[in-house]
C-alpha cells in the first residue's frame, strides 16, 4: 500500500478531524459520516487515520483477530484456540477496511470457500470484509451510491456487532464490531434516514473559500505527490503527537467524569431540538466524554458538550421538508438557548 497523506497535514476541516479522532477514542460512539463538497479530503482523512492508529493485540490464528482479553470465546476460532493452555498473541495493525464500490454480497458477509470446495470438496467458510473489519473501521466511500441490499445488511451487522451467515449450506456466526465511517456528496442523492441514524457523528465539509488556505491545501497536496517519503518524514513528529494524544485519551476515557449537571444539559439540548429517542443524548454524552479525554481533562464541561453537539445531533433532527434551515444552524440556535447565561 502506498504511503497515506499524513493526518496532521490536512489543512483546516477541524470538525471532521475532531469527529474522526473522537470515534477512534470511543468506538461506542458509533462511527462518523462525512458529507460534503468534492475534493475536500474526506477519503484522505479516513485513510490517514489508518496510519495513525496504534496496533492492537490479537490471538494468533484467529481469523477474526479477536481480543485475547475477551473472556468468553466469541468465535469458533477462539473457542478452539483458548482451550489450549497458553494461547499465543501478537500485535496487528488496526484494520481500516475499504468497502470498494461494486463489492458483491458474498465478499462482504463471507461465503463458501470456493477454492477449498472445488479442490478438496471441503465445506469451509471464507470470511468476508465484515470479518476483516472486526475491532477496526469499515470505510465506505460514496456511501449514497451503495446498493440498497448491502446497506440493509451493514445496518444490521453494525447494530448487532455480529455477522450471521446463512447461505450455501453454511451456518456461521462471528463477531463483527466495527466503527462505520462513510463519506459522500449530498448532490448525488440523500441517504436513507435509517442509515443516517446509524452513524454516531455526522460532519459537513465545505471547500475553503479563503485564498491563503486554498493555496496551502494545493501546495501540500502537490508536495506530497511529488515526494511522499520526504513529505511524510516532515510530518512524522506532528503525526506522532496526535497518536500520543489518541492513545492517552483511550487510556483514561473511563476515568472521565460526567456529572449530573452535564447530563441534564445534554437532555435539555436534545429536548430543545426535539430529537427522536435516546440515541442522540447517549451519543452526545459519549462524544463529549471522548473530547474531554482528548483534551486530557477529567470531567465533561459545557465547552465539550457544545463542541460535540453539532456532529452528534445534526443528523438526528426531525426532518421537516418545509424547513430549509441548515441543520447545523438549528443546533447552534438550540445551543444558544440552552447555554444562555
Partner 1 sequence: MTAAPPADPAWADAVWAATLLAVDPQGLGGIVLRAGAGPVRDRWTKLLHGLLPARTPWRRMPSHIADERLLGGLDLAATLQAGKPVAQRGLLAECDGGLLLLPMAERLGSDTAARLARALDDGEVGTERDGIAQRWPARVAVVAFDEGRNDDPPLPVALSDRLAFHADLSAVGLRACGDADHDVAAVLAARARLPSVTLDEPFAQALCATAMRMGVASLRASLLALRAARAAAALHGRHAVNEDDARLAARLVLAPRATTLPAPPEPPPEEPPPPPESDTPPPPLNEQDVQELEERLVEAAQAALPAQLLAALLNGEVARSGGRVGALSASPRSGRPVGSRAGLPRGGARLNLIDTLRAAAPWQRLRAAEAPPGRQRIHVRGSDLRIARLQQRAATATLFVIDASGSSALHRMAEAKGAVNLLLAECYVRRDQVGVIAFRGKGAQLLLPPTRSLVRAKRSLAELPGGGGTPLASGLQAALVTALQVRRSGAVPVVVLLTDGRANVGLSGAPGRSQAEADALQLARQLRAARLGALVVDTSPQPSPSARALAQAMGAPYRALPHAGAAELSAAVRALPRQA
Binding interface with partner 1 (CB under 8 A): 2, 37-40, 43, 98-108, 111-115, 117-121, 123, 126, 128-129, 141-142, 145, 147, 149, 168-169, 185-190, 192, 207-209, 211-212, 214-223, 225-226, 234, 238, 321-322, 324
Q: Shortest Cβ distance from residue 183 to partner 1 (Å)? A: 12
Q: Shortest Cβ distance from residue 215 to partner 1 (Å)? A: 5
Q: Shortest Cβ distance from residue 222 to partner 1 (Å)? A: 6
Measure Cα distances from 14 to 19, 32, 203, 266 in Å: 8, 14, 10, 22
CB nearer partner 1, residue 234 or residue 332? 234
Q: Shortest Cβ distance from residue 219 to partner 1 (Å)? A: 6
CB 286 within 8 A of CB 29: yes
CB nearer partner 1, residue 98 or residue 295? 98
CB nearer partner 1, residue 105 or residue 295? 105
Q: Which residues contact 78 (CB under 8 A, 6 or more apart)?
A: 59, 62, 64, 66, 70
- φ and ψ at 314, to 5 degrees? -50, -45
Burial of residue 59 (number of CB atoms within 10 Å: 0-12, 13-18, 19+): buried
Has 38 been annotated as catalytic? no
Q: Which residues contact 266 (CB under 8 A, 6 or more apart)?
A: 281, 284, 285, 288, 305
CA angle 310, 316, 322 (to 5 degrees): 105
Q: Which one from 279, 289, 318, 319 is the annotated catalytic residue?
A: 279
**Running DSSP on this structure, what letter comes out for residue 54?**
P
CB nearer partner 1, residue 321 or residue 341? 321
Q: Shortest Cβ distance from residue 122 to partner 1 (Å)? A: 9
- Of residues 236, 233, 291, the one with CA closest to residue 262: 291
CB nearer partner 1, residue 39 or residue 54? 39
Q: Which residues are catalytic?
A: 279
Amino acid at each position: 500500500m502506498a504511503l497515506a497523506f499524513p493526518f496532521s497535514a490536512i489543512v483546516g476541516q477541524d470538525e471532521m478531524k475532531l469527529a474522526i479522532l473522537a470515534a477512534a477514542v470511543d468506538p461506542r460512539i458509533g462511527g462518523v459520516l462525512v458529507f460534503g463538497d468534492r475534493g475536500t479530503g474526506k477519503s484522505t482523512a479516513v485513510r490517514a487515520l489508518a496510519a495513525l492508529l496504534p496496533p492492537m493485540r490479537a490471538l494468533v490464528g484467529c481469523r477474526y483477530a479477536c481480543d485475547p482479553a475477551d473472556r468468553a470465546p466469541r468465535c469458533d476460532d477462539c473457542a478452539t484456540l483458548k482451550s489450549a493452555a497458553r494461547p499465543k498473541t501478537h500485535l496487528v495493525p488496526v484494520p481500516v477496511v475499504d468497502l470498494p464500490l461494486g463489492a458483491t454480497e458474498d465478499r462482504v458477509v463471507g461465503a463458501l470457500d470456493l477454492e477449498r470446495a472445488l479442490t478438496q470438496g471441503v465445506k469451509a467458510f471464507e470470511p468476508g470484509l465484515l470479518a476483516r473489519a472486526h475491532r477496526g473501521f469499515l470505510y465506505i466511500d460514496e456511501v449514497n451510491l451503495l446498493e440498497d441490499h448491502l446497506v440493509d445488511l451493514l445496518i444490521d451487522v453494525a447494530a448487532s456487532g455480529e455477522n450471521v451467515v446463512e447461505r450455501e449450506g453454511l451456518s456461521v456466526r462471528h463477531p463483527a464490531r466495527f466503527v462505520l465511517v462513510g463519506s459522500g456528496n449530498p448532490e448525488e442523492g440523500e441517504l436513507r434516514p435509517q442509515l443516517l441514524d446509524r452513524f454516531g457523528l455526522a460532519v459537513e465539509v465545505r471547500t475553503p473559500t479563503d485564498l491563503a488556505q486554498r493555496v496551502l491545501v494545493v501546495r501540500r497536496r502537490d508536495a506530497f505527490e511529488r515526494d511522499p517519503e520526504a513529505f511524510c518524514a516532515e510530518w512524522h513528529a506532528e503525526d506522532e503527537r496526535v497518536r500520543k494524544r489518541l492513545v492517552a485519551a483511550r487510556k483514561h476515557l473511563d476515568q472521565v467524569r460526567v456529572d449530573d449537571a452535564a447530563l441534564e444539559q445534554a437532555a435539555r439540548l436534545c429536548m430543545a431540538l426535539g430529537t427522536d429517542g435516546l440515541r442522540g443524548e447517549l451519543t452526545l454524552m459519549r462524544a463529549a466524554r471522548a473530547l474531554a479525554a482528548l483534551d486530557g481533562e477529567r470531567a465533561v464541561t459545557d465547552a465539550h458538550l457544545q463542541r460535540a453537539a453539532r456532529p452528534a445531533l445534526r443528523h438526528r433532527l426531525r426532518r421537516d421538508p418545509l424547513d430549509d434551515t441548515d441543520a447545523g444552524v438549528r443546533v447552534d440556535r438550540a445551543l444558544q438557548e440552552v447555554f444562555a447565561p
